[in-house]
Chains A and B, each alone.
Chain A
Amino acid sequence: MRALFLVLMLALAGGLHAQTAVPTEDDPLTAKREVDLASKLRCLVCQNQSIADSHAGLAVDLRRQIREQIAAGKSDTEIVNFMTDRYGDFVLYEPPFKATTLLLWLGPLLLLGLGAVVVVRVIRRRKQAAPPLSNDERARAAALLGGKESGQ
């Protein structure tokens, strides 16, 4: 009984110990944050890949940087700022909303609005361009359609 207890204690202690000594990259939450952040950032060496996808030396270094900063308790915003301070907004796949990117963000809406205005104007003009038929015209149309006015 006592031996069993001892074995149990040892097993438990081992379990506890393993939990505290897990390296950062094995902690699923940290790993997920690292991957999430890394996939938002462009690798400048191979510009069409994110830092998460790339095997370039710089991407590896920047992932290490992200991991260390997470371990140091930095917030996501702080880590992203660290990157943009050094590499500019270009590292972000999603450009920030600010004065210089206003046209980029609002351009499509602007074009949509412009298109809507044009469509409305064209429709209005068409309505005006087709005045109601006179009785004579109506009769002629009916004749052409084979006398079936109900077809209208």
Chain B
Amino acid sequence: MKKAAFYLIPLAAFVILAVFLLRGLWLNPREVPSPLIGKAAPVFERPTLNKPGLQFASKEMLGQVWVFNVWASWCTPCRQEHPLWNELAAKKLVPIIGMNYKDDAGAARKWLTDLGDPYTLTIVDGDGRLGIDYGVYGVPETFIIDKQGLIRHKHIGPVTPEAMEKKIVPLVRELQKS
């Protein structure tokens, strides 16, 4: 009896290993947890896309919850999520600020004319430096920033209808109450 248990140890070890490996199959290696969650959103002051002379400073958003969406006209998945931002903007629930990441300003403006402009305003990050401060590595990325200016959530990749309904909208509502 004792001997049988002894021989079962390798089997048990194998099962444990297999469970971990199987779990690994369903994890997305592209979703790297951001160290910025719960920390202050990097402060910026940048020209806006539609009025290049006008500078917009992130501190103007203090006191309200806002959504910060990183996009570019060259980014195909951005096109995929864009209708969802249009829908959210139509609800007038929360200000959506865009970050136009490493893009050509003309192409970016044309994109907004063609597909609709859900953004309260879009700031320009031509050389990607602000993107680096926000830990952006794959466009589109979306941040939810609370009244105190802390990053509360980061969505990597195109927003899906599920993510919008189950995470982004409820979180915005919850943060607005607090």
A residues contacting B by CB (< 8 A) are 44-45, 47, 57-58, 61-62, 65, 84-90
22 of the cross-chain contacts (CB-CB < 8 Å) are: A44-B32, A44-B137, A44-B138, A45-B138, A57-B128, A58-B137, A61-B129, A61-B131, A62-B132, A65-B132, A85-B35, A86-B35, A86-B36, A86-B133, A86-B134, A86-B135, A87-B32, A87-B34, A87-B35, A88-B33, A88-B34, A89-B35
Which residue on A lies nearest to B127, using beta carbons?
A61
- Asked if B29 lies at the interface with its beta carbon under 8 angstroms from chain A, I say yes
For the complex formed, measure the closest distance between the CB of A109 and the CB atoms of chain B, giving whole angstroms. 17
A84 and B35 contact, CB distance less than 8 A: yes
- Asked if B152 lies at the interface with its beta carbon under 8 angstroms from chain A, I say no
- Asked if B46 lies at the interface with its beta carbon under 8 angstroms from chain A, I say no
- Asked if B109 lies at the interface with its beta carbon under 8 angstroms from chain A, I say no
Q: Which residues does chain A contribute within 8 Å of B132, judged by CB atoms?
A: 61-62, 65, 86
**A-B contact number at CB 8 A:** 39
B128 and A58 contact, CB distance less than 8 A: yes
Q: Which residues does chain A contribute within 8 Å of B129, judged by CB atoms?
A: 61
Q: How far is the CA of A74 from the CA of B172 in the complex (A)?
A: 39
Q: How far is the CA of A140 from the CA of B110 in the complex (A)?
A: 99
Q: Taking A45-B138, A58-B137 as given, write out 16 further A-B residue pairs in contact, using a Cβ cutoff of 8 Å, ordered by the A residue number.
A: A44-B32, A44-B137, A45-B137, A47-B30, A57-B102, A58-B128, A61-B132, A84-B35, A86-B133, A87-B34, A87-B35, A87-B135, A87-B137, A88-B33, A88-B35, A90-B33
B34 and A47 contact, CB distance less than 8 A: no
Q: How far is the CA of A88 from the CA of B154 in the complex (A)?
A: 13
Most A CB within 10 A of own CB, among B35, B128, B134, B137: B137
Q: Which residues does chain A contribute within 8 Å of B30, judged by CB atoms?
A: 47
For the complex formed, measure the closest distance between the CB of B49 and the CB atoms of chain A, giving whole angstroms. 20
Those of B103-140 within 8 Å (CB) of chain A: 127-129, 131-135, 137-138
